[in-house]
Structures are given as structure tokens and as C-alpha cells.
Structure 1
Amino acid sequence: MTDRLPTPGSGQVPVLRLGDVLLVTLQGDLYDSTAEQLQQDIGEAIAHHAATGVVIDVSGVEIVDSFLGRVLAEIAAKARLLAAQTVVAGMRPAVAITMVELGLTLPGLRTALTAEDALRLVTARPTPPRPGGAQAGSR
């Protein structure tokens, strides 16, 4: 089931619901008012739909700055408080390099190469702990 959640006004970033997951696709620059509204929209959508995951597709973002890094980290922190995990997908190599150079570690965020990979990550069931504390598949 795919629903486009209502986002009032123009210039808003659409938040799509795919079952228990929210999908947000960023295109171009994200301005202060748009970022603030996006954070609010995602928080409300998580609570209203009991979403367990948020996928943020940044494949349309060519330039990253500390503002965007902070917005992504804040979205992840708020989602985590609402019992949802966040995965950022589609980061271009140049964007990743810039984020490292800016010192943006983005705590609480997982990454995936594509939106499809990110959807798999947020819908995968966690592996139960094994006796002795070792996780299955851990090295």
C-alpha cells in the first residue's frame, strides 16, 4: 500500500507511506522553513501511521552542507524517539566525501546505496541474540 501523505502548501517535500515505512525523496536544496516542516511532517506521520522506518533518498542532492547534515541527524533522532529507524539512501560519492570533510558523522543514521536496499534494511526483522552475546553473521 502506497499513500502520499498530505503536505500543505507549495515547496514541501512529499512523504510517502509504503506500509510501515515512510519514504522521503530530497531533490535539490533544502531551505530552513522546508526542513522544519519536513521534520514535523515526518514526526507526525510516524506517530499517526505507527511507521517503523524512514527512508530518506538523497540521490537528488548534489551539494551537502552542515545544515543538511544537522537536519538528517535531527530527523533520525526524532524518529528513534518514536521507535522508528532511519536509513539514508542514494548518497553520491562527492556528497559522502564532503560530509566526511565537514566532520558530519550523522549518529543514529544507517546508509544504503539505493532506496531499494534501504527499504530492505528497515523492513528486515532483527536477528535475535545468540547465547554468549554473539550475533548471527557477526565477524
Structure 2
Amino acid sequence: MDRVPILKVGDVLLVSIQTDLQDRTALALQEDLAERIVRTGARGVVIDITAVEIVDSFIGRMFAGIAAMSRLLDARTVVVGMRPAVAITLVELGLSLGGVQTALDLETGLRLLGADSLEEGPPEVRDRR
């Protein structure tokens, strides 16, 4: 079974999904990520889905589950690089990624997570809601 690599960048974990996820790989990612958040004390998680072209209801629920699990472990989640077709599919399936911030690219996603560590206020990031 393939594993999705999880990289540590400061106090953020970076998950870069390079292929469409199979169900078993997604389940392994959820377990691996929970373990890494606890072990490293990460304050944020960035999930880069730029390479993901197709999602189904299971994978959509897994993204929501990963975000909920991260929140319980005191880490914020930002999903970056979502393609329009993926966003449309999630909406058509009735799946919302509640509690998950989104950003168009990795740089903006990391900046969103960096806002907590700045004492002078959040960085200049436009609200895309």
C-alpha cells in the first residue's frame, strides 16, 4: 500500500497528494497524520491537492474527517490547490469541508497558518468567501 508523505515545515505539517487517492491510502493518511500531529506538536496542516483530479464521496468525507481530527488535536487545516472540478463535485455530493480553510496555492495556505504566530495581527490575505 502506498503512503502519502508528510513533511514538517516549522510547526506545520505539509501533505502533498500527488495522485488520486485510493480508499486504503486515504485511511492510512488519516492515521499517519494523527500520529504525526501528536508526535510533533504541529499547530497546522496544509493538504495540497493540486494533483487530485477526481474525488468521490468517500475521499471528500476523508478530507472533512482529517480536518475534524486535526482540530481535536489543536491543529488548523488548510486545503490548497483545489481544482474547479473537485470543488464542483464536492458541492454536488453535498459535502462541505466545515472548519477547513482553503487557499489557491501553497504559499497562501502557509501564510494563513502563520497568522496565529504573529502578534501584530494576521497577514494580508484576502478572504475568499
Within the candidate set 41, 56, 75, 1:65 is matched to 56
The alignment partner of 1:86 has SS state of: strand
1:36 match: secondary structure: helix
Please tell me whether residue 115 in structure 1 is matched to residue 106 in structure 2: yes
Q: How many residues align?
A: 120
Of all paired residues, the percent bearing the same amino acid is 59
1:125 aligns with 116
**1:1-139 alignment, distance < 5 Å:** 11-125=2-116
Structure 2: where are the runs of 5+ without partners?
120-129
CA deviations 1:21-64 (Å, max 9, x no partner) are 00001122212221111111111111111100000000000011
Q: What amino acid maps onto 2:115 in structure 1?
A: A
Greater Rg by CA: 1
TM-score by structure 2 length? 0.87
Cα distance in 1 for partners of 2:91, 2:33 equals 26
Distance 1:23 1:117 in 2: 13
Please give the TM-score of this superposition, normalised by the length of structure 1.
0.81
Match of 2:4, SS? coil
Asked whether the 8 Å contact 2:20–2:51 carries over to 1, the reply is no
The runs of at least 4 consecutive aligned structure 1 residues that moved more than 3 Å come to none
C-alpha root-mean-square deviation of aligned residues, in Å? 1.8
The C-alpha deviation readout for 1:87-109, integer Å capped at 9, x for no partner, is 00000111111111111111111
Matches of 2:16 and 2:117 in 1, distance apart? 25
More strand by share: 1
Instruction: State how far apart, in whole Å, the 2-side matches of 1:51 and 1:26 are.
Output: 19
